[in-house]
Structure 1
Amino acid sequence: MIGIVRIIVVVAALVALSLSLIPVQYVFLKLERGWKRSLPNFFHRIVARLLGFRIRIVGEMQEGRPLLLVSNHVSWSDIVILSAAGKVSFIAKSEVRNWPVFGMFAVLQRTVFVERERRGKTGEQASEIARRLAEGDAMVLFPEGTTSDGNRVLPFKTALFGAAHAAIREMDLKEVIVQPVAIAYTGVHGMPMGRYFRPIASWPGDVELMPHLKGVLREGAIDVEIRFGEPVIVTAGTDRKQLARTMENRVRDLLQSALLGREIKSETDEAASASR
């Protein structure tokens, strides 16, 4: 009974919040100001609290621009979590645009929609991402191409890493910062989540959305950790596939360290340890 009451209260609060801020964001999208980046961050910070996500941030999002964030992908809630952590926009598969409610929010957050299966459009899509990077937007790429079970990182698809090179080539930029990010769902009601309970938060592709959303609303206390790793400075000479492999390895290390409760070691720290 308590779970049902919580779901009703949270849904009512989300509806009220959305109805009050959606018209404002539509106006902001018409203005050439930073408010269109700030409002989604404000909105998702409140949404994260309402949904019961307790967010811990380890490391820092790079302040420099242009910035491409490369993250693992566990659930629909990753959008809420990352957007609550900073002023970001996302790169999402084209189907998301047509999802009820979620599609509208994606548009309002100025998401770049891509058709991953149409290789002939990769260059055009990379150019759109490049334009946004050049304009100062921190763009989030989920290179796994789908959601995982939250316990591992799936192999990265390399195509859209070309957006960094497109920004350098087409937008006359000298370099692009590419930073790895890991999202780890670590606990529920103050207890370690572990592999067995990770499905409370994770949303693999074969799980229906509404039952999963209902489950998250019912729980109301999920701990999640965002880990920002060592960035790579991409120049015209950087190899795209090597960049993808480097990011995949760093995101995997960040995820495992978060799930195991280990502290992050920078490359400088590791080099110092190795020299002892």
Structure 2
Amino acid sequence: MPVSPCGPGCLTSGAPVVAFPRRVLRLLAATGVVLGALPVAPALFLLGPSARQRLVRAIFRGVLRAFGVRLVVHGGASLRDLPDGRGALVVNNHISWLDIIAINAVRPMRALAKREIASWPVLGRLVSRAGSIFLDRERLRTLPGTMTELARALRSGSLVSVTPEGTTWCGRGSGRFTTATFQAAIDGGVPVRPLALRYRLADGRETTQPSFIGPESLIASLRRVARLRGLVLEMFVCPEIAPGRAADRAELAELAESAVHAALGTARIPTQHRRRSTAVKKVAA
């Protein structure tokens, strides 16, 4: 599986913070939103699509508000207005556990998630009940079966959120988009919708403080986010990549990755350079 070189040394400094009592209140408020959502989750299937989406959006927006996060969406109408019953693979650069919360605050959808998330306290149950497809990264022989399940979900009309980098990065650095999940989009005959995410402070400075990187625990990451003042999460909804536009899954992954970098204004390392760097590292080893 992909491994990110990002760690504690990537965390930016100088971010304004809130007082300790407010941090505690934020954590309690977020816990209250998630705990309150658990009893409601089974009843979601009794609601119509529009009512269900409004309720789920309200829950995830409540989590963002609890942590003091302001969500700014560019081009969000094209994501919110995707018709029900039309599947799509939604991919984004992966920085934080806040990513999936923000995406569902705009348009609720299923997710391809690492199996460990299912065991997270409280949040794991909510993610499981939302219809997530879990990937066991320790048993890669299960990957073909998981991709078959993903393709089936896409073909049946589900929107599924995927982080093709395979792990979290700090935001200043990023990983290449792996190709397996894009084969599921090809097999399912559905478009790909790239999303580009960026975290900044109220004064416009980019920050890596929300990133979930290195060996830290979820609790440590939650506490760091809870202390930030004026955190802004920017989401750029990129143009849809239609089925059949790419010759194969590798080209489709490159198109999606390029769209994310273009939206963020960051440099993308050409595939040839990546291969050359990898070859050099192998020779040096």
Report the TM-score when normalising by structure 2: 0.77
How far apart are 1:32 and its partner, in Å?
A: 7.8
**Residue 241 of structure 1 aligns with which residue?**
250
Deviations 1:188-236 (A, max 9, x none): xx22333xxx231112133332222112111242011100112111139
Cα distance in 1 between the residues matched to 2:237 and 2:42? 31
Q: Is the 8 A contact 2:246 2:252 kept in 1?
A: no
Q: Is the 8 A contact 1:40 1:109 kept in 2?
A: no
Give the aligned residue type for 1:184.
Answer: R
Give the aligned residue type for 2:251.
Answer: Q
1:228 corresponds to which of 237, 243, 246: 237
The structure carrying a bigger strand percent of its residues is: 1
Q: Is the 8 A contact 2:41 2:126 kept in 1?
A: no
Aligned residues between the structures: 244
Asked whether 1:134 is paired with 2:155, we answer yes
2:105 corresponds to which of 84, 87, 91: 84
How far apart are 1:155 and its partner, in Å?
A: 1.0
How far apart are 1:130 and its partner, in Å?
A: 2.1
**Residue 270 of structure 1 aligns with which residue?**
none
Q: Is the 8 A contact 2:198 2:234 kept in 1?
A: yes
**Residue 186 of structure 1 aligns with which residue?**
200
Q: Secondary structure at the match of 1:235?
A: coil
Q: Is the 8 A contact 2:151 2:187 kept in 1?
A: yes
Cα distance change, pair 247–2 in 1 and its aligned pair in 2 (3 A): closer
Cα distance in 1 between the residues matched to 2:165 and 2:246? 24
Cα distance in 1 between the residues matched to 2:120 and 2:21? 26
Q: Is the 8 A contact 1:185 1:222 kept in 2?
A: yes
Cα distance in 1 between the residues matched to 2:229 and 2:182? 36
Alignment of 1:1-276 (within 5 A): 3-29=19-45, 31=46, 33-34=48-49, 37-60=53-76, 61-62=78-79, 63-64=82-83, 65-116=86-137, 118-168=139-189, 176-187=190-201, 190-194=202-206, 198-235=207-244, 238-256=247-265
Give the aligned residue type for 2:173.
Answer: R
Q: Superposition RMSD on alpha carbons, in Å?
A: 2.3
Cα distance in 2 between the residues matched to 1:95 and 1:16? 22
Cα distance in 2 between the residues matched to 1:156 and 1:12? 36
How far apart are 1:36 and its partner, in Å?
A: 5.1
**Structure 2: which 5+ residue stretches go unaligned?**
1-16, 267-285
Cα distance change, pair 2–233 in 1 and its aligned pair in 2 (3 A): closer
Give the aligned residue type for 1:241.
Answer: A
Cα distance in 2 between the residues matched to 1:32 and 1:121? 34
Cα distance change, pair 201–14 in 1 and its aligned pair in 2 (3 A): closer
Give the aligned residue type for 2:33.
Answer: L
- Indicate the percent of aligned positions where both proteins have the same amino acid: 29
Cα distance in 1 between the residues matched to 2:229 and 2:38? 24
Q: Is the 8 A contact 1:165 1:236 kept in 2?
A: no
**Structure 1: which 5+ residue stretches go unaligned?**
169-175, 258-276
Cα distance in 2 between the residues matched to 1:210 and 1:27? 29
How far apart are 1:143 and its partner, in Å?
A: 0.3
How far apart are 1:7 and its partner, in Å?
A: 2.1
How far apart are 1:96 and its partner, in Å?
A: 1.4
Cα distance change, pair 50–237 in 1 and its aligned pair in 2 (3 A): closer
Report the TM-score when normalising by structure 1: 0.80
Cα distance change, pair 237–90 in 1 and its aligned pair in 2 (3 A): same
Deviations 1:42-65 (A, max 9, x none): 200111111111111112344152
Cα distance in 1 between the residues matched to 2:118 and 2:103? 19
Give the aligned residue type for 1:122.
Answer: L
